[in-house]
């Protein structure tokens, strides 16, 4: 694995002339930083932009959320390589190509730490009212995002008593301060939630949806609480969902198709998104090109086609059959039937309000709450797809007829897939939150919990001798 997280090479983005405007369409070059380069609010804003640059997985040409879009779909069985056979498509993760995310997310974490370290020690009077706390809130939320991703993909997040948690980094590190042991799952959750609680308390209540707001931090905390899965977590998750839904800042799109085909980041449903670089839609090696024209490209599977039966979304998710691989189809959620990439098709969606509704529904059921209330939340998401009580279609009735908690959780999981296939990883982890027997019944290629997570990259053990043991089921 390429060591993209040797972080002495990149923390801040510095421009020849300082600018407070945070943007990803004209990112400045990375710089080697070994000292105090944040000296006031202006330079703090520029450095924070560098953290967002890493959140977007950006370079000078494009932002690249392809792994966020593709990997969970492959692991869940709803996306696949359009030409080749993948070990990951069978949930055989010992030879995975996916664990480059380790370096990606620790680069994000370390960039956030550089901002946190330097902004924290600056005098308050160098910042306008509240801006110091907002910068720290955004950086800490992004650090939480990166740490949580590592915990989910390479830690035993499903076992609060496990020693196999994340490698917690709370300070900017260099080659001489890098080595440390990974932490327990319990401590990992505590670290992530402390960052998110700070962000909720101090981030701006309003702002552009490509930057962290209080509501984005709250939605991310909902994901964390569902994953930790303690009884009080479910109640807390449902309460957070209610606050976001009733905040008035976000509204479910009446036609979910418009988010991807018309509105993009102008949709009031998008809580946190990733904007593409200038002219990215025309760049051959862009993100949405993965669905149309590569030597290796990604397609919808027969499983996704089956899940979308009797669902209006099928018409704008499932394209023509792929001639190179049986039982697969062009995935047109981003590229539309004409298979042309555009600036709009390059927009990525980290958090949408629809997810908040489904997380609140799941948390309500898991907390032992009112099933009718959970059904109402699911139906609100279905309405954006054109599934309503008036139509009284198969998928609407399936939710109405789910009379037990287990049955309604299954319907919630199916709606996660229908709503978020090809977006971030929420539906994959919604699957893994079931008991193993249920996971296996829904995804027969997963038969052990060792398959839930990736191995830590081999190179980590050579560069960090203190890290500890490899994940169970894998060798170094």
Of 7-21, 210-224, 350-364, the least confident? 7-21
Which CATH number goes with the domain that contains 166?
1.25.40.890
Please report whether residue 154 resides in a domain: yes
Residues 48 and 186 in one domain: yes
Please report whether residue 457 resides in a domain: yes
Pairing between strand 348-352 and 270-274?
A: antiparallel
Residue with tokens 């399936």: 398
- Neighbouring CB atoms inside 10 A of 187's CB total 14
Distance CA 19, CA 43 (A): 8
294: left (phi over 0), alpha (psi -120 to 50) or beta: beta
pLDDT, one tens digit per residue, over 439-472 is: 999 999 999 999 999 999 988 999 999 999 999 9
Question: Does the pLDDT value for residue 9 go beyond 80?
Answer: no
- Going by the DSSP 8-state scheme, the letter that residue 60 receives in this structure is S
Please report whether residue 421 resides in a domain: no
pLDDT of residue 94: 65
Four-residue CA torsion sign, 430, 431, 436, 442? positive
| Residue 232 vs residue 2, higher pLDDT | 232
Residues 190 and 330 in one domain: no
Residue with tokens 């599934």: 387
pLDDT of residue 33: 38
Four-residue CA torsion sign, 429, 461, 100, 95? negative
Dump the DSSP string for 298-361.
EEEEHHHHHHTTT-TTHHHHEEEEPTTSTTEEEE-TTTTTTT---TGGG-EEEEEHHHHHHHHH
Number of domains in the chain: 2
Please report whether residue 266 resides in a domain: no
57: left (phi over 0), alpha (psi -120 to 50) or beta: left
Average pLDDT, the chain: 90
pLDDT of residue 11: 36
pLDDT, one tens digit per residue, over 234-274 is: 999 999 999 999 998 999 999 999 999 999 999 999 999 99
Residues 21 and 153 in one domain: yes
Per-residue confidence band for 37, with pLDDT thresholds at 50, 70 and 90: confident
pLDDT of residue 26: 31
pLDDT of residue 22: 39
Contact 266, 395 (CB under 8 A): no
Query: Which residues, in sequence order, are bridge partners of residue 328?
Result: 301
Residues 307 and 191 in one domain: no
Residues 181 and 293 in one domain: no
Over residues 11-23, the mean pLDDT reads 33
Dump the DSSP string for 137-151.
HHHHHHHHHHHHHHH
Closest CA to 355 of 416, 311, 289: 416
Per the structure, the complete domain to which residue 116 belongs is given by 1-62+93-205+446-476
- Neighbouring CB atoms inside 10 A of 358's CB total 27
3-state secondary structure of 425: coil
pTM of the model: 0.92
Residue with tokens 């709606």: 415
Domain endpoint, select from 311, 346, 381 = 346
pLDDT of residue 12: 35
Contact 299, 329 (CB under 8 A): yes
pLDDT, one tens digit per residue, over 379-416 is: 999 999 999 998 768 899 999 999 999 999 999 999 99
Percent of the chain at pLDDT exceeding 90 = 81
3-state secondary structure of 274: strand
pLDDT, one tens digit per residue, over 140-157 is: 999 999 999 999 999 999
Per-residue confidence band for 232, with pLDDT thresholds at 50, 70 and 90: very high
Distance CA 453, CA 425 (A): 13
pLDDT of residue 95: 62
Please report whether residue 373 resides in a domain: no
How are the residues of the chain apportioned to helix, strand and coil, as percentages rounded to the nearest 5? 50, 5, 45
pLDDT, one tens digit per residue, over 294-344 is: 666 999 999 999 999 999 999 999 999 998 899 999 999 999 989 999 999
Distance CA 440, CA 301 (A): 18
Residues 55 and 198 in one domain: yes
pLDDT, one tens digit per residue, over 24-36 is: 333 333 333 344 6
Distance CA 467, CA 404 (A): 44
Closest CA to 290 of 350, 345, 328: 345
């Amino acid at each position: 694995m390429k060591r993209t997280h040797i972080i002495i090479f990149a923390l801040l983005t510095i421009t020849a002339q300082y600018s407070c405007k945070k943007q990803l369409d004209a990112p400045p070059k990375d710089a080697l930083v070994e000292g105090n380069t944040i000296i006031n609010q202006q330079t703090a804003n520029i450095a924070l932009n560098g953290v967002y640059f890493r959140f977007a997985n950006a370079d000078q040409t494009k932002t690249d959320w392809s792994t966020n879009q593709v990997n969970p779909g492959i692991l869940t069985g709803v996306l696949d390589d359009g030409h080749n056979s993948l070990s990951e498509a069978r949930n055989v993760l010992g030879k995975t190509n996916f664990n480059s995310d380790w370096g990606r997310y620790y680069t994000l974490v370390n960039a956030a730490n550089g901002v946190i370290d330097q902004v924290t020690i600056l005098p308050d009077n160098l910042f306008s009212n509240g801006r110091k706390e907002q910068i720290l809130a955004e950086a800490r939320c992004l650090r939480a995002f990166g740490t949580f991703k590592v915990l989910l993909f390479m830690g035993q997040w499903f076992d609060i008593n496990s020693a196999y948690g994340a490698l917690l980094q709370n300070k900017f590190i260099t080659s001489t301060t890098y080595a440390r042991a990974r932490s327990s799952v319990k401590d990992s959750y505590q670290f992530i939630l402390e960052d998110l609680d700070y962000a909720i308390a101090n981030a701006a209540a309003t702002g552009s949806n490509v930057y962290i707001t209080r509501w984005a931090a709250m939605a991310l905390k909902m994901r964390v609480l569902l994953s930790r899965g303690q009884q009080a977590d479910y109640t807390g998750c449902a309460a957070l969902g209610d606050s976001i839904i009733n905040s008035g800042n976000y509204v479910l799109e009446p036609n979910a198709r418009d988010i991807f085909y018309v509105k993009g980041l102008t949709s009031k449903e998008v809580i946190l998104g990733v904007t593409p670089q200038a002219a990215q839609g025309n760049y051959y090696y862009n993100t949405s090109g993965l669905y149309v024209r590569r030597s290796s490209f990604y397609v919808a599977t027969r499983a996704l086609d089956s899940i979308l039966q009797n669902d209006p979304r099928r018409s704008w998710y499932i394209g023509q059959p792929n001639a190179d691989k049986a039982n697969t189809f062009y995935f047109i959620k981003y590229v539309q039937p004409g298979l042309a990439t555009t600036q709009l098709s390059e927009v990525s969606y980290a958090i949408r309000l629809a997810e908040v509704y489904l997380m609140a529904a799941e948390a309500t059921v898991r907390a032992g709450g009112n099933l009718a209330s959970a059904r109402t939340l699911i139906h609100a998401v279905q309405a954006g797809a054109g599934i309503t009580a008036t139509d009284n279609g198969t998928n609407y009735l399936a939710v109405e007829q789910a009379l037990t908690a287990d049955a309604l959780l299954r319907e919630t999981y199916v709606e996660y897939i229908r709503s978020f296939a090809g977006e971030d990883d929420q539906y994959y982890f919604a699957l893994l939150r079931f008991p193993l027997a249920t996971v296996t019944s829904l995804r027969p290629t997963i038969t052990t919990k060792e398959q839930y997570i990736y191995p830590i990259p081999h190179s980590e053990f050579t560069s960090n001798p203190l890290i500890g043991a490899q994940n169970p089921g894998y060798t170094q």
